[in-house]
Structure 1
């Protein structure tokens, strides 16, 4: 396959196929054969564009993680509008969509994939969870700066509670994702103290 637009098309086709396999069959079902079968192409196509399957998976994760940036920007743009709790509940629901939630265990259980991602993203953290944590932390810091979150609020601890709790809620999607009421309950409980007090 020639380079240029065809290479990008092949990569995107393989990424989209991998996403479908991941959502349908889980991390254990995500093999190079499953991806190329789903994409309707020869197995050699994947290996023509990626040095090995872990290199392919690393690029897939980075591509999908980059898509979270728009959602992270939307959260930052919500600073000072609506309520802090509603903004965060909306963001957690969007950021922990089906694809990000499916990618997290893939990263967690593949040591070689984590190593490649660490090389690509020296800042550390598990891809996807790191993006969510960065977005939530920046948003809370901005809200604290304008006085809608208490001035002495521990942003790091709040972020860990929201992201960790959000991941636990959304990771169990059987039979359905959590209700909005469940997400609201998590967020309002975590924020209960810091949004009721006057900033110092």
Structure 2
């Protein structure tokens, strides 16, 4: 039994520890010793579960990216309700108010990790941001079908523009979080000309 806490789910304990370090001190502070110390376990625990530290970090990124599936389903389910700009502002706040900004910083900070992730999923782009853009594009397509987004709107171009703008708003971990009104203003600016009818969809039967 390793020293420290008994790990019922070692992987998740280690992932959570790495996330706390990322949020507190940034990617430069993330080492295998820092993670195991934060998790309260022996250093060998990490290496029993992962081939090396970059393999651990790659799995951390994939685990956090997988969470976007749940957010995507919820956002698409909101199509036709509330306002388009409001729904997207809330989604961006949830996304970038989480560990997403720190994960993106980690990917860009570590060249070996970025290369490993690209070999595993050679679709291009930065992991997490790519999936987030797909989430937004799917939602905008649903709103286009409902007539609240213009029929000729290029949702595949608007989505990464929204993700990029959202990332810039939240990127500075040392600054206060942007206010809801500021996020919504940015969303509305990006979507200017694409919104057709932002009122909630009523029963048309």
The question of 1:187 aligning with 2:150 is answered no
Stretch of structure 1 that moved more, 171-180 or 15-24: 171-180
**Gapped runs of 5+ residues in structure 2?**
198-205
Partner residue, 2:160: 160
The number of residues matched between the two structures is 194
Partner residue, 1:122: 122
CA pair 67-83 structure 1, distance change in 2 beyond 3 A:
same
4+ long deviations beyond 3 Å: none
State the 1:119 CA deviation: 2.9
Say which SS state the counterpart of residue 41 (structure 2) adopts.
coil
Partner residue, 1:68: 68
Partner residue, 2:135: 135
Query: Distance between the aligned counterparts of 2:128 and 2:181, measured in 1?
Result: 24
TM-score (norm 1): 0.91
TM-score (norm 2): 0.89
The question of 1:85 aligning with 2:88 is answered no
Deviations 1:57-80 (A, max 9, x none): 000111111112211111000111
State the 1:8 CA deviation: 6.7
The question of 1:15 aligning with 2:37 is answered no
Deviations 1:91-123 (A, max 9, x none): 111111231111001001212111221233233
Query: Distance between the aligned counterparts of 2:23 and 2:93, measured in 1?
Result: 17
Query: Distance between the aligned counterparts of 1:138 and 1:122, measured in 2?
Result: 21
Stretch of structure 1 that moved more, 130-139 or 170-179: 170-179
Say which SS state the counterpart of residue 195 (structure 1) adopts.
coil
Partner residue, 2:54: 54
Structure number with higher helix proportion? 1
Query: Distance between the aligned counterparts of 1:16 and 1:174, measured in 2?
Result: 21
Query: Distance between the aligned counterparts of 1:108 and 1:160, measured in 2?
Result: 17
